[in-house]
Amino acid sequence: MQLTRQQQGLLDGDGGPACQWAMQFNHDLGNFFGAEQMVPVASAHFAPDTGMAGDPGKKLLAFLESHQARVVVPAYLDPCSVDIGRAAEWMATYGVSETFIAADRETQRHCRALGFRPTYTCINYQTIEAPKRGDHLAWGDTGAAIAANAMFGARTNFEGGPSALASALIGCTPAYGMHLPGNRRGNLSVRITCAPEEIADWGALAAIAGTLSVGYDTVLVFHGDFAPPSFDMLKQFAVALASYGGHAMFHLAGVTPEAATLEAAFGGTVPGEEHVVTRQDLDAVFERSTMADNSVDLVVFAAPQLSIDEVAEIVERLDGRRVHGDTKLILAIDPQVRSLADKAGLTERLAALGGEFSTGTCFYPEAPVLRETTGWRNLVTNSAKLVNTLASAGYDVAWRRLGVCLDAAVTGRLES
Amino acid sequence: MQSPTLSLTGGRGMGAPVRGPALVSGQGFGFRYDLDSTTGVISNRDHDLYGEELAGRVLVFTKPKGGMAASWALASLRDRGIAPLAIVFREASPIFAQGALFSGLPIMHMLEGDPCALIRTGDDVALYPTEGRIDIFR
**How confident is the model at residue B67, as a pLDDT?**
74
Q: Does A43 share its domain with A105? A: yes
Domains within chain B, CATH numbers bracketed: 6-137 (3.50.30.10)
CB-CB under 8 Å, A246 with B64? yes
A215 touches chain B (CB under 8 A): yes
ipTM: 0.91
CB-CB under 8 Å, B28 with A392? no
Residue B122: name the closest of B24, B51, B16, B15 by CA.
Answer: B24
Q: Which amino acid is at A183?
A: N
Domain edge (last residue) among A118, A148, A181: A181
**Over the stretch A30-86, which tens digit does the pLDDT of each residue have?**
999 999 999 999 999 999 999 889 999 999 999 999 999 999 999 999 999 889 889
**How confident is the model at residue A393, as a pLDDT?**
81
Q: How many domains does chain A have?
A: 3
CB-CB under 8 Å, B94 with A392? no
Q: Does A312 share its domain with A273? A: no
A195 inside domain: yes
The pLDDT of B65-71, averaged and rounded, is 81
CB-CB under 8 Å, B95 with A141? no
Domain edge (last residue) among A181, A207, A229: A181
Contacts of A117 (CB under 8 A, 6+ apart): A74, A75, A76, A77, A128
Q: Does A261 share its domain with A367? A: no
B82 touches chain A (CB under 8 A): no
Q: What is the CATH number of the domain that holds A241?
A: 3.40.1060
Q: Does A279 share its domain with A309? A: no
Contacts of A280 (CB under 8 A, 6+ apart): none
Rounded-to-integer distance, Cα B89 and Cα B74, Å = 15
Output phi, psi for A9, to 5 deg.
-60, -45
B130 touches chain A (CB under 8 A): no
Under-70 pLDDT residues of chain A: none
Q: Does A279 share its domain with A294? A: no
Q: What is the CATH number of the domain that holds A334?
A: 3.30.499.10
Q: Does A254 share its domain with A342? A: no
Domain edge (last residue) among A244, A265, A286: A286
Question: Which element (helix H / strand E) includes A8?
Answer: helix A5-11
Q: Does A110 share its domain with A227? A: no
Q: What is the CATH number of the domain that holds A20?
A: 3.30.499
A313 inside domain: yes
Q: Does A143 share its domain with A157? A: yes
Domain range enclosing A282? 185-286
SS3 category, A380 = strand
Cα within 13 Å of Cα(A98), Cβ side = 2
Query: How far from A90 is each of A101, A355, A383, A410, B79, CA to CA, in Å?
Result: 9, 16, 23, 23, 27
B129 touches chain A (CB under 8 A): no
A360 touches chain B (CB under 8 A): no
Contacts of A99 (CB under 8 A, 6+ apart): none
A243 touches chain B (CB under 8 A): yes
Q: Between chain A and chain B, how many beta carbons pairs sit less than 8 Å apart? A: 136
CB-CB under 8 Å, A368 with B71? no
A416 inside domain: no
Q: Does A85 share its domain with A162? A: yes
Q: Does A112 share its domain with A170? A: yes
Q: Does A76 share its domain with A116? A: yes
Q: Does A249 share its domain with A377? A: no
Q: Is A134 exposed, middle or buried (0-12, 13-18, 19+ CB in 10 A)?
A: exposed
Which of A27, A32, A244 to probe by mutation at the B interface, max B CB count within 10 Å?
Answer: A32
pTM: 0.94
**How confident is the model at residue A78, as a pLDDT?**
96
pLDDT at B66 over 80: no
